[in-house]
């Protein structure tokens, strides 16, 4: 096991400017669409982290030329996907759910596996959907094998995507390449993280794919080509949230550069959440600045569409003066870890008062103390511990290296932010 990382305590109100790497969500969608086009394209400002590495490795495994030079990724022209291949998904939901619908277009067997926790993550929905669309699939969870014949019929499929929006996005990304196109109907509880599906639809349209999403819970993709696009990736707004939270909990000021004026990223919701908690938030010409209040207010928020922000917001709530309830996030039990159980356990471990609810977490104000904060191999759990540690001496995170999933240099970025405050 790695040596626990001692979370540094802020010397006072933080004052810093931070530049955030590219969005994981946009990067991995762009890479899949580039591969599906079959022609050369470039992804600029891409994320350099484990999830992106897993995606480029997966595409190479099925015959796609990929060259990585820092934050620039060149996806080369190719004549189709090929097996046999072994694909390591790591713990990347985008790889395990976006690549199989593309890999069914390959010839030969494609075997997928991943980290031990990845084998526990829900996959049956998308694999059963692929069977319904004409693919041959052996298995219902990682590890599983696709038996490709060079194409797939496509058509209409009904799924329950209440466990993850990635089930919808994964199917939609490849649907234009299916013989009959694709229609996805969702039947079940509301789909979480709808902004991620909106992101997928917007990127498909940019790549020339015809998408009809005019009917609620139904998405139709016309069969056809996927155009090659030279993608420019926005900063990952969800990865910016720990740094903005640092301003909020220390009563300081943090500025993030390159914030888009319009975006489909769920991370943009942090602006409203921080304002509800008492922070001053301003966005001017692509520069977002958060100024922390003297005291954080508790909140009651439905986070169904922005569940990935839950660890950051829960850390803020643990340091707030009033009670908080975060709702609509039962699906987080199926993320990198069971995030609701993990947050409840770790907030409690440092003296907090947190309990799970049926679809979320309730947090009440109490004095916190130092202790070990476990990351559960989950990058957002690790950064949540770092936030708490800014104002609670003696907090250590057992595996800060797991932040490399989407922030390859998080400890150094965190240290630089603190150095600016000295």
pLDDT in tens, 364-389: 999 999 999 999 999 999 999 999 99
Q: Let me know if residue 128 belongs to a domain.
A: yes
Backbone angles phi, psi at 302, to 5 degrees: -85, 115
Q: Are residues 395 and 277 in the same domain?
A: yes
Q: Let me know if residue 227 belongs to a domain.
A: no
Q: Does residue 406 register a pLDDT over 90?
A: no
Q: Are residues 149 and 45 in the same domain?
A: yes
As annotated, the binding site includes 24-25, 29, 93, 121, 164-166, 193, 308, 335, 339, 380, 405
- pLDDT band of residue 422 (cuts 50, 70, 90) is low
Catalytic pick from 234, 253, 308, 346? 308
Q: What pLDDT was estimated at residue 141?
A: 95
Tell me if 67 sits within 8 A of 74, measured CB to CB. yes
Q: Are residues 324 and 389 in the same domain?
A: yes
End-of-domain residue from the set 222, 249, 271: 222
DSSP label of 308: G
Q: Let me know if residue 80 belongs to a domain.
A: yes
Q: Are residues 172 and 74 in the same domain?
A: yes
Q: Identify the domain containing residue 397 by its residue range.
A: 5-21+235-421
Q: What percent of the chain has pLDDT over 70?
A: 99
Q: Are residues 207 and 288 in the same domain?
A: no
End-of-domain residue from the set 178, 199, 222: 222
CATH code, domain with 91: 3.65.10.10
| pTM of the predicted model as reported, rounded to 2 decimal places | 0.88
274 membership: H or E segment, kind and range: helix 270-276
- pLDDT band of residue 188 (cuts 50, 70, 90) is confident
As annotated, the binding site for phosphoenolpyruvate includes 24, 93, 121, 166, 339, 380, 405
Q: Let me know if residue 228 belongs to a domain.
A: no
Q: What percent of the chain has pLDDT over 90?
A: 93
* E-state strands within 150-286: 155-159, 182-186, 211-212, 218-221, 231-232, 253-257, 280-284
- What average pLDDT does the structure give for the chain? 96
Task: Give the count of domains, the chain.
Answer: 2
Q: Are residues 181 and 269 in the same domain?
A: no
Q: Let me know if residue 97 belongs to a domain.
A: yes
Q: Let me know if residue 120 belongs to a domain.
A: yes
Distances, alpha carbon 55 to alpha carbons 25, 98, 101, 253, 307, in Å:
11, 9, 14, 35, 22
- pLDDT band of residue 49 (cuts 50, 70, 90) is confident
End-of-domain residue from the set 197, 222, 247: 222
Q: Is 128 a catalytic residue?
A: no
As annotated, the binding site for 3-phosphoshikimate includes 24-25, 29, 164-166, 193, 308, 335
Q: Are residues 180 and 278 in the same domain?
A: no
Report how far residue 105's alpha carbon sits from residue 79's, in angstroms, rounded to the nearest whole number: 12
Q: What's the rounded mean pLDDT across residues 143-154?
A: 95
């Amino acid at each position: 096991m790695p040596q626990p990382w001692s979370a540094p305590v802020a010397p006072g109100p933080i004052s810093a400017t931070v530049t955030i790497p590219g969005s994981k969500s946009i990067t991995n969608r762009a890479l899949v669409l580039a591969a599906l086009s079959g022609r050369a394209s470039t992804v600029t400002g891409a994320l350099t982290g484990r999830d992106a590495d897993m995606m480029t490795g997966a595409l190479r495994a099925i015959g796609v030329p990929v060259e990585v030079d820092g934050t620039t990724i060149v996806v080369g022209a190719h004549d189709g996907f090929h097996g046999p291949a072994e694909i390591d998904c790591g713990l990347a939901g985008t790889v395990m759910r976006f690549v199989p619908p593309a890999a069914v277009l390959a010839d030969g067997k494609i075997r997928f596996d991943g980290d031990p926790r990845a084998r526990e993550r829900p996959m049956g929905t998308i694999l059963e959907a692929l069977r319904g669309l004409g693919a041959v699939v052996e298995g219902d969870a990682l590890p599983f094998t696709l038996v490709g014949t060079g194409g797939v019929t496509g058509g209409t499929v009904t799924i329950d995507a209440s466990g993850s929006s990635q089930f919808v996005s994964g199917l939609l990304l490849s649907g234009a390449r299916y013989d009959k196109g694709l229609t996805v109907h969702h039947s079940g509880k509301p789909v979480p993280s709808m902004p991620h599906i909106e992101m997928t639809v917007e990127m498909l349209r940019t790549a020339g794919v015809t998408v009809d999403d005019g009917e609620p819970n139904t998405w139709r993709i016309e069969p056809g080509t996927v155009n090659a696009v030279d993608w420019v990736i926005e900063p990952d707004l969800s990865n910016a949230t720990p740094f903005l939270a640092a301003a909020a909990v220390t009563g300081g000021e943090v500025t993030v550069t390159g914030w888009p004026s319009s975006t489909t990223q769920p991370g943009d919701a942090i602006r409203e959440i921080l304002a509800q908690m008492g922070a001053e938030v301003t966005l001017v010409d692509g520069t977002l600045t958060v100024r922390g209040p003297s005291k954080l207010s508790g909140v009651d928020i439905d986070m169904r569409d922005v569940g990935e922000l839950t660890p950051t917001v829960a850390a803020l709530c643990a340091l707030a003066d009033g009670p908080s309830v975060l709702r609509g996030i039962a699906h987080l039990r199926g993320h990198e870890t069971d995030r609701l159980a993990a947050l409840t356990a770790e907030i409690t471990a440092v003296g907090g008062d947190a309990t799970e609810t049926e679809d979320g977490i309730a947090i009440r104000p109490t004095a916190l103390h130092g202790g070990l904060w476990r990351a559960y191999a989950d990058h957002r759990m690790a950064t949540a511990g770092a936030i708490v540690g800014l104002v609670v001496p003696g907090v250590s995170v057992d595996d800060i290296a797991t932040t490399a999933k989407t922030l390859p240099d998080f400890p150094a970025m965190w240290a630089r932010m603190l150095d600016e405050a000295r």
